[in-house]
Structures are given as C-alpha cells and as structure tokens.
Structure 1
Amino acid sequence: MLLYDRVIALARAPHWYESGGVPDTLDGRFDMVAAVLSLVLLRLEDVPEAGPASARLTERFVTDLDGQLRESGVGDIGVGKHIGKMMGMLGGRLGAYRDGLAAGDLHPALARNLYRSGLPDAAAIAHTEAALFALRDALAARPTESVIAGDIA
C-alpha cells in the first residue's frame, strides 16, 4: 500500500531525529511512525468515503508490526499481546494529537508520546511541532483521493 509506504518514509526522514531530537531508537522510530500515521488517520477520519482506506492503512500498520515483532524474536503467543498494547498506544496518540492540533499546541502530546525518554532542547521541540503542523496543513490542502493515493507531503 503506497500510502503506508509514504507514512513510513516520512516518519524516517532524518530531520525528525537530527533537528527534532526524536530518539533514533526502536521506540523513537515507532513513536514517529505513530505521529505521522495519526495525522494521516485524523485527516481521513471525517470523510466517510475514506473509512475503507483508513481501515486498510491501520491493517497494514498491524501487519508491519507483526512482522517486525517476529523478526525481533517475539514468539507467536507474545505477538498478539504486543500488538494489542501498541494499538492501544496508537489510539492514545490519536486522541492526544487530535486535541493538540485543535488547541494549536502539540507540546504536551509530544512530551508524553514522542519524547518519552526526556525532552530535548526547546529548538528541537519547536522544529518537530512546526513540522507536524505543516504536515497537518499539507494534508488538509490535498484532496482526500490524493491522500489515499499516497500524496501526503
């Protein structure tokens, strides 16, 4: 699914980690993917026709998590438990980013969900916050069909 591939590519862009201070760790990369994925899902959630695409995007995320967990050595029994926990984390992030975007302030959501191991300097947080607002604006400016087709940045 091209849209998912674009989410991953955008979340792995070096600026998040170099200028934004996102930890370049397994957890940091998951958190960044969850942030970008959340913004895309939030863009699609108010468009009834986008429901199937949102479901496919979420299913692709689960499939990717499943494969990565298995590659890292998690056994069959533990995979479902880990995926359930990660989906819960994604749901929490959706709410936090939705609220932060509506309030015009992502700092609390970033502190809680992206910088879990400690806050970087103010310039790094400002970079990440500005880049996420820019992504939100770019997504809003595109037709839904374009977003679904993978045109997200």
Structure 2
Amino acid sequence: MLTLRLATWLPCARSRGNVNSRARCGFLSITVLESVFGEGNGKTMVFGLFRRKRSSRIAPLYEALMRASRQPVFYAELGVADTVEGRLEMLMLHVGLTVHRLSQETAGRETARRLSELFIDDMERSLRDIGYDDSGLKRRLKKVAGAFYGRAEATAAALASERPEALAETLLRNVYGDAAADPAHVARLAAHVTGFARGLADTPVDDLAAGDLPFSTQSPISAGEPAFSDIKS
C-alpha cells in the first residue's frame, strides 16, 4: 500500500490559532470523508473536485472512476483495507489503468494527460485547503505523483508479462501491502483488473472521455467473474 501515511499527510490545519475539528482537523478531514468514503451529498468527489465546482471535460470520467474504485465489494469481500489509504490505492489503480489505455492511441493521449493532471491537481488543491504552504506541498505532491505513476507503470507491466503470477504479485505489494493477504482475495482482484483493462481496450477513446466505462458500477464482483456487464471475451 501507499507508504505515505495519510495521518501525517493530512494534519490539522491551524488558522490564527483556531482549529475547526470537524471540517479541517486530522487525516479524516470532512473533505476526504465525503469524497473517498462516499459520505455527504453524493456530489463531492475525491479531494474536492465537485466541491469546488470545477468545470472540466474530464470530470465525468473522473467521477466514473471514483465510483468504480468505491465499489463496496473491494473492501467487504476482497480484503482491501477500508481506510483512506486503501480507497486511495483503489482510485490510483483505476485511474492509472485508464491513463495507460488512453495513452496507447494518439487520439487518447491528450485525455490521458488531462486525467492524470486532474488527479494530481485535485490533491494539490485539497492539501492547500487544509493548510499546507508551498514548501510542504511540493514534497508531498512529489511523493503522491511518484506513487501514482509508479503504480500505473507496474500494473501495466504486470498485465503485459508472460508470468501469470505477475499481476497478483504487483497487487499484493501495492494494494494490500501485506504478504499475509488471502491469496483468493488477491486472485479475484487480479481477475477484476484484467477484465477492466480488457474492457478499456475495447471501449472507444471518445466513449471513455465521456465517462462511459466498460462495466456496471452497480454490479458486485461474483466469485470467479469480472465486475463487468459488457466485456467481450
């Protein structure tokens, strides 16, 4: 899992000696709770994307990826930690897979760039909101960006590997961060990732840019089945 602990990554923000403990104090800030955990009014996306009502052509895709990463089955049945870190790992996994797929076609490279920039930019604005100045912000953003791009590259390499166990090993290291994780959980997540990547490859770039992901976010993953309703085998 992400080695950057969010408990230290999102400390209490102080303003003139006062701390609003509900909205701004601690790593479970209200922004993160409403976005990563899906609480609140249903419009707040990760790190305040829609809280700030930012206009972006990539917003529908980012919103769809957030819903994909937030499927309860990952946390209730596949052993992914139901924490801010665990949910951030799942978001990075889905965004990274999508960025990689888009970058494979000339027509999708601009969308891939905008999507990755939106992910990083949203984190930057959130960190500024909770009180980080430029000196601390640069260091933390560098760490987050390194984790995001490193995981995206590792997952893509694992999917392309001729070693069947490569993807499971990558997910065990990055998502679970625990050698004692249930192999059945890791295998099911690997099947999900494989199916998701296949579905992305079969979906036109324009459809992806509009947020049309190749699966139903309402359908849980059944044992031995990918979480997609329209993946072509």
Give me the TM-score of the superposition, normalised by structure 1: 0.90
Choose the corresponding residue for 1:42, options 100, 106, 113.
Answer: 100
- Give the drift of 1:73: 5.0
Contact 1:100–1:106, Cα closer than 8 Å, also in 2: yes
1:22–1:74: structure 2 CA closer, same or farther, 3 Å change rule? Answer: farther
Contact 1:19–1:127, Cα closer than 8 Å, also in 2: no
1:21–1:60: structure 2 CA closer, same or farther, 3 Å change rule? Answer: same
Partner secondary structure for residue 176 of structure 2: coil
1:78 to 2:139 alignment: no
Choose the corresponding residue for 1:132, options 193, 208, 228.
Answer: 193
- For 1:129, give the aligned amino acid: A
* Structure with max Cα Rg: 2
Partner secondary structure for residue 114 of structure 1: helix
1:119–1:136: structure 2 CA closer, same or farther, 3 Å change rule? Answer: farther
Higher percent of residues as helix:
1
Q: Which 10-residue stretch deviates more, 9-18 or 111-120? A: 111-120
1:149 to 2:207 alignment: no
Contact 1:111–1:119, Cα closer than 8 Å, also in 2: no
Partner secondary structure for residue 145 of structure 1: helix
What RMSD, in angstroms, separates the aligned Cα atoms of the two structures? 1.7
Contact 2:102–2:109, Cα closer than 8 Å, also in 1: yes
1:32 to 2:90 alignment: yes
How many residues in Structure 1 have an aligned counterpart in Structure 2?
153
- 2:74 is matched with 16
Long gaps (5+) in structure 1: none
- For 1:141, give the aligned amino acid: D
- Give the drift of 1:116: 1.7
Q: Residues 49-103 of structure 1: CA distance to partner in whole angstroms, max 9, x if unpaired?
A: 2121111111210122123334555444322211111111111112210111112
1:72–1:151: structure 2 CA closer, same or farther, 3 Å change rule? Answer: same
Contact 2:75–2:81, Cα closer than 8 Å, also in 1: yes
- 2:173 is matched with 112
Please give the alpha-carbon distance, in whole angstroms, between the structure 1 residues aligned to 2:167 and 2:73: 18
Please give the alpha-carbon distance, in whole angstroms, between the structure 1 residues aligned to 2:127 and 2:64: 21
- For 1:19, give the aligned amino acid: E
- Give the drift of 1:118: 4.8
- Give the drift of 1:117: 4.5
Paired-residue identity, %: 31
- 1:53 is matched with 111
Please give the alpha-carbon distance, in whole angstroms, between the structure 1 residues aligned to 2:127 and 2:67: 19
Long gaps (5+) in structure 2: 1-58, 216-233
- 1:123 is matched with 184
